[in-house]
Copies of this chain bind each other. A is one copy, B any other.
Amino acid sequence: MTMAIEVTARHGAARAGVITTARGRITTPCFMPVGTRGVVRTLSSADLDDLGAQIVLGNTYHLMLKPGAERIGRFGGLHRFQGWDGHILTDSGGYQIFSLEPGGNVRLDDHGVTFRSTYDGSTHRLTPEGAVDIQTTLGADLQMVLDVCAALPASPAVLRLAVDRSADWAARSRTAFLARERPELSQLGIVQGGTDVALRVESAQRTVALGFDGYAVGGLSVGEERTVMLATLTATLPHLPADQPRYLMGVGDPVGMVEAIALGIDLFDCVLPTRFGRHGTILSMAGRYNLKRAENADSDRPLDDECGCPVCRRWSRAYLRHLLIVDEPTAPRLLTMHNVWWTLRLIEAAREAIGAGTLDGLRSRLLAAYG
């Protein structure tokens, strides 16, 4: 079963659509909150229901270490374990392995990667086939192949090796996934190549040739200028099938998402709304701001004047700032709720703007507010 996307509206290269899976429908574009350890930090799956989230991410790296994929499997998979009926996408674990252990402790070879647990230092090994096994045990609806993510800037030789290895691992991942015969689950390939356009095009072609259910663009938004990221996307996306979902990994800032939507991206994930929320940085249509600033101490306004989230409907900036200042754990939770709601509604607004032909106006407004 191929996870198809039905495009319901277009505006230039931008598209609004519906992805259909065995679990249900996902309207796109779609932002996916990150639930690293089987939960979106400070929230619960009941909160995700209330926020109208459609997909939540889980992190293979963390879940395989604690509580362990086999344990979750004995509970019937991650959906049942975390009490969530919506879609789940799991990454392959590769990104965490490379980013959590930048200074060593990671041994990469042609066959896989050996690393030490961030929890207890114990040694583990992940292979393309192992990543498929784990994600299938977790029962993830959307699964990612294990790839090699080169840290930018990288030399041409390093990028070349990463692309070659990722292509080889993608082929092995696809074979392993198809051998499991779980047609209700989907697998996405990942395009790498840094900001080298020729390498990106080559990676896209080699990945598409393997026939995945959808395609992700990885290794972007890792420090490069936004214009460089968008130029890379512009060159890459025409080489991905128009009738399958396109996922830009790790991008979740308001401008970056709307710019990428304009280029034809369907899916996003990012820790930005949740991490910002925990630290008191508020997303609003007037831009982002630090709630701790003194000017909010007596403000009776909601976090965002235009927001209809459960937090903005009930509490003032002054109250939420007070909770944050005195270190009440309710504060990071409520601010996370606002930021996730705001981000989900922003993407819904982009979806509507595609249908109405007003995406340029939304983009201009965000650029003015977020610079």
Which A residues fall within an 8 A CB radius of B?
A: 37-46, 62, 66-67, 71, 74-75, 81-83, 119, 297-298, 300, 310, 314-316, 318-319, 322-323, 325-326, 328-330, 332-334
Contact = CB atoms under 8 A, between A and B. Distances in A.
B66 A315 contact: no
A81 B300 CA distance: 9
Given A37-B323, A40-B330, A67-B297, 18 more contacts: A37-B322, A38-B323, A39-B323, A41-B328, A41-B330, A42-B330, A42-B333, A44-B333, A45-B314, A46-B310, A66-B325, A66-B326, A67-B322, A71-B297, A75-B318, A81-B316, A329-B329, A329-B333
A43 B75 CA distance: 28
Contacts of A319: 38, 75, 81-83
A319 B75 CA distance: 10
A41 B323 contact: no
- Taken together, the copies of this chain in the complex come to 2
16 contacts: A37-B322, A38-B322, A39-B323, A39-B328, A41-B328, A41-B330, A42-B329, A44-B330, A44-B334, A46-B314, A67-B318, A71-B297, A71-B298, A75-B316, A82-B319, A329-B329
A21 B357 CA distance: 56
A315 B119 CA distance: 24
Contacts of A74: 298
A75 B66 CA distance: 45
A37 to B, nearest CB: 5
Nearest to A42: B329
Nearest to A336: B329
A96 to B, nearest CB: 14
A66 B226 CA distance: 42
Contacts of A316: 75, 81
A304 B133 CA distance: 34
A315 B83 contact: yes
Contacts of A42: 329-330, 333
Contacts of A330: 39-44
A76 to B, nearest CB: 9
A310 to B, nearest CB: 7
Nearest to A38: B322
Nearest to A65: B326
Contacts of A314: 44-46, 83
Nearest to A119: B326
Nearest to A82: B319
Contacts of A83: 314-315, 319
